[in-house]
Structure 1
Amino acid sequence: MSAKEARYHLLRLKRKYRMIRVTEALLLALAEGLITYAVAYWFVLPLSGLWLLAGAAGLSCFIVRSVQLGLWQISEAGVIHYMNQHYPQLEESADLFLREDEGLTSLQQLQKIKSLRQFEILYPSVKLPHKLLQALGVFALSALIAFVSMGFAGKHKISREAATVTRNAQTGTSPEEVLPAAIRSAAITFTPPSYTGIPKQTVKTFNLRVPEGTNIQWNIAFTEKVTDAKMIFSTHDSVKLATTASGEYSIQKQFTETAFYQIAWRNADGSVKYSDYFTVETIRDQPPVITVENLDQFITLSLTDKLKVNLQSTLSDDYHINDAYIIATVSKGSGESVKFREEKLRFDKPDKISGKSLRANRTIDLVKLGLDPGDELYFYVEALDNKAPQPNKARTETFFIALQDTTQQTTSIDPGLGVDLMPDYFRSQRQIIIDSEKLLKEKKNITKEVFNSRSNELAYDQKVLRLRYGEFLGEEFESGIGPQAALPSDDDHEEDVTKKYGHVHDTENEHNLVEEKKSAPTQDHHDHGGDDKDDPVKAYTHAHDSEDEATFFAQSIRSKLKAAITVMWDAELHLRLYDPEKSLPYQYKALKLLKEISQDSRIYVHRTGFDPPPLKEEKRLTGDLTELKNATAEKSTSKPETYPHIRKAAALLEHMLQTGKVVVTPDIKNDFLKAGQELSAVAIAQPGRYLKSLSLLKRLSENEIEPAQQSAAVEAIRASLWQVLPKEAASPQSHTRSVHALDERFLKSMEALKQK
């Protein structure tokens, strides 16, 4: 190794050391940031504040660690010093690598060469000092602690939110919220349901955020004597305020849904005054949250496994959990004989389910539940909270435990060869021919055992096909192999199969055959009651119990089908004897007979078309359309106009903005009030979006907005009203396009040419 290469390797060691130390400092900084974020997460801080605190803590830790390690002061001299101290093979001569040979003595040059050789050997195994593994462990431990801490803190968010309802209310009204001019004081007392555990509170703010089912009571004192004081709710219900002994007005109402309200009264001069709109936001009682931590949804066990399942569940609720249990269903049997049994299982620990957040365990013994091999168990965890009068109920997904049945066996008895008796499909005759020819081509390339096996399989396919066609002849049982026909040859005359198996009536020798049958001695010892001609019943009956008569086809088709089945016997025989070459002629003959049968069984129907009525010659080509009437259907596409008062109010506001004059006449005030009623119906679903506009519309109709702020208020109200209106479908209309001067001159020239 040369001195130049040694200096380059020293530079790489310096960079490597700096990178390792920077990574170590970053891991420690991230660990500090995670811990700070987890601690701050328990306090009521915005998300931006959490990130700011965590970032500041992490940055401070990184700076401190960087100063301690001297990351920005690492030099090659420091690396050389470390090498001289920890690697004695260099004989403390590593500093010679940075010096030129011209400034060294002969002894120093010799020492430099020796040290370079040692450094070349040592360089791959140089280990720089660091605590990277310790930093990584600190980071992993900090991440685990942070996530566990934030998980526990998240479970208490709902309760913390409910607990802050009173504190938010006691802070007074918001900067924009002021008491109406005629109201001197107000005391609002809300009593949450007893099951929530939140105490009764009294606040002075009109905008409330309370738990679901809270009973709210208003006690309002006016600055002067008023009459007809009432409270108008978003459901358009008006409740008159009751007068108390102290001269205050009181009203009480229970809220289960989010709503808003308004106070109205009549002054001594007879004028009606309305307050601003205020909201009552309800916090819904959430159902319990149930998690099963240690089980998969589908579990399969065998008899050799431990037939006990440990169930661990975590239960939590925003207020309190009253009860929890396991619903288990045992399924026994299969098919139509399946039976179900349902049981309710209690948790082993704790003994009593009660609390805001708890862990419950249960060991499910499959043997005690009566599960046998092949049975299944379905179960889920169900929990109820303390909501009154009807508790909230929640349940987990259904878990499945199947106990494998390893004793099931499939037994089949084959009277013939050892082949599959229930194939997934059966081959056609053409497919058997193709496979037979393919087997003959591959005969030289395969062993004798494989050849015989494949030939036997083809024979079985031929048997299945023969039995399938035999069903049409009424063959319910398989008899022995039928008569074999001789192999066809060129010299022999081809045998007529229909004559052999058919029943021909028009031959000249038919009467002789009948006489032979009559004269043939019978082997039976009982009388048939005469011949067929003398039997009067046989002419009027149809025998179904005879194998020869049970058929769906005519006699000629039946004869061909029986001949095809007989030929299939011979084809199967030669395949069983491992001679596919002799089986092919019978296969082709069977295919030919099946094609003839399919052609004979077709039914041809004469095609018929539309036959128009005859035309009257006296009216033909006259052009008389007096008797023709057009069928017309009238349909109104007009839809009822939605939000008519909001549309009218939006037009009035647009006119005010264009003219620059905001004048509210009694008629305009009436239109604004009707538009406010329509807007209040929309604001029930989204009170935070339209409540401010509703208040501005009310103040504008009462002339309570200062002239300098009227223009901005009108624009805000107009924007909200346009958001309420649905989008109209675009109506079809003609598009006008501008015509270029050159195109216009061209068109005029064309018109002039047409006139000539």
Structure 2
Amino acid sequence: MTAVRVLLDRQREAQWRSVADTLAIGLPAVGVASALGWRLFGLAGLIAAGVFGLGVLSVFAIGRARRLDRDWLIGALDARLPGFEDSSALLFRDRDDLPGLAGLQRARIEGRIGDARAVDLRPAWSLRPIAASGAAAAVLTTFILVWPAPGSSARTTTDGPPAPGAAGPPAITAVRLRITPPAYTGLPVREQTALDASVPEGSRVEWIVDFAPQPTTARVDVPDGRATPLLRDGSRWTGSRPVDRPTLYRIAAEGLPRQRLHRLDAVADVAPVVQLIEPDRQLLLVTPGQARWTPVFEVSDDYGVLDTATLRITVTRGDGETITFEQRSTALTATGEARRRRFSTTLDLAREGMAPGSDLIVQLVVSDNRAPERHIVEGPSVILRWPTDLGLADGLDSMAAPVLPVYFASQRQIIIDMEALIAERPRLDPARFVSRSDAIGNDQARLRNRYSQFMGGENEVGGSTGGIALPTSDAPPAPALPTNDAPAASRFERPDDHPDHEGHQEGDTAPSGIGHAEDVLHAFGHAHDEGDAATLFDPGTRSTLSQMLNAMWSSERALRQGRPEDALPFANIALELLKQAQQATRIFLRRTGSDLPPVDLSRRLSGRRDDIVAEDPPPPVRTPADTVVAEAWRALDERPTSGRRPSLALGALERWVRENRGRLSDPLALGAAIDTVRNEPGCLDCRRRLRALLWSAMERPPVAVRRREAPGTRGQRYLDALR
């Protein structure tokens, strides 16, 4: 085993020499790829290219080393050591498997194992490939680092930048932007070679520029602001400025050809968004037995929300003009990550002073971590209401069930119920049939009372049959007396027939069976047509409503008597009349008279008709607001024209952009395109881009009604024949 270990050590040394030789040849190529990735994609490109290149090179090196296996070792030993007598393979076989002469030969070779310690089996270095790879990598890396990055301002109106050290005007050889976002954003400092950038509002942008040859002075020009000087530090020029709003800029230097404009977009910080998670609506009622309430809010922001917020709590008590309220604030602590936090608290209703007829209103006030001025946002108000109808007991645990609103069945639904009842008549006993017919009649009575109010009628109140006495003949029954024992108003009398409408007091009539949430007007007031904006119906509409109410009454009477077959025709007539009434137009009249012009009595009975109709004034001649843009758009047209093409007035176009900046979708892009066309009049792509931007900036003309063209001879003959 000692002899085999010595031979394996020689093999391992040879394999490591193979790996080192492969790395020496391939590492310069990895360096070239990393430099190219850095120039194209920055630090991320450098890391990606380096990792990928090293991975490929490692795989290749391991594969090359695996070729130096045991067969190679046996062949190398037989070739280098004559004393092994071409029997090196016997050293790697089990001694017990070697019979006779083979065993004796192995013993002889083991005695000569000292010769193997002195032999060097490592392959020679690939000096020529290593030198060629290093030289080529050095040349390519230098070329990549010196060549201007894509998107840099090294593109000038000249044919190309001069070589470093050559005489002539200066040129930009390299440029980088270092962007430092505000601290509250939590974003890292980044660098890029592209001169167009989108940065958070308030970021500081630093320019790092290399010139060749070096100019005397350099700066960053802003068309609408103050220039930023660039300071020289060796061969590098640097300068920085904060970016609070979107702006255009160009790099300028003494002797440097005029560069194109680039843009910096300032992305404004968005205010936090407050969402109500629980409950799922902003108004809810206290449930029987409820003693606590837990509202939950969720706040999201682009850079983060503070972990503390303020909850405003307001409790109102009383009714009408005697409402009082108490307001206090409490601090809440959030849960969750900074960009999406949740705030919640549990409120004790008894401790907050809730009582029947009171409201508990909560509102969350949050702020983000923006500096120096934070965004303070007030969330939605959530109301927990304890209606008066629920307050029949002193404690929260013994509240009565809420009174549900009464939902009116439509006339169409009443007809459907009547038809279904008629179809089920064979399967129902007479008592059940009459009971269901009376229930439908009750729905018909409610609907009739509802529409009767539009004609000045009162809601009828009474017993279990809806307040209508069951008729015993075909004559209409006498209306039931209201609770104040006063004569009931007719369903068809005009509002003017009520002498005491102006003197209605609160509590004159008891609320009807209509629920508060559905019909507050009917429960707490009168729906008569009165007031400064009275709703009056024309005689035709009043007649239609009167006939509809009569038909509903006939339908109700038959249903009360258990005869839905006789009620169905009247219900259908009421539905048709209701459709006609819904299409009528209401007329709103004022109590004050109209302001008519005074009558000229001197012209009365004179027969003079002059000046009785004003002449139509001539239409005003208006200059279109986008005349400058339209002329510039036509001047940029590349198609040949027979007429005279207007000249391209870039100065007037720039003034138009400044005056109409508010209504343009992207004024910076339009301003940069105008500047580029001025600097490079021969650039065809630049002119096309400017023309496209002008087309989108022009205001669309309003749609006008065109006069119909006069018909021809055949058309006029056709129209005459139609007459």
- TM-score bucket (shorter structure): 0.3 to 0.5
TM-score (norm 1): 0.41
TM-score (norm 2): 0.43
Bigger radius of gyration: 1
- Flag the structure with higher helix content: 1
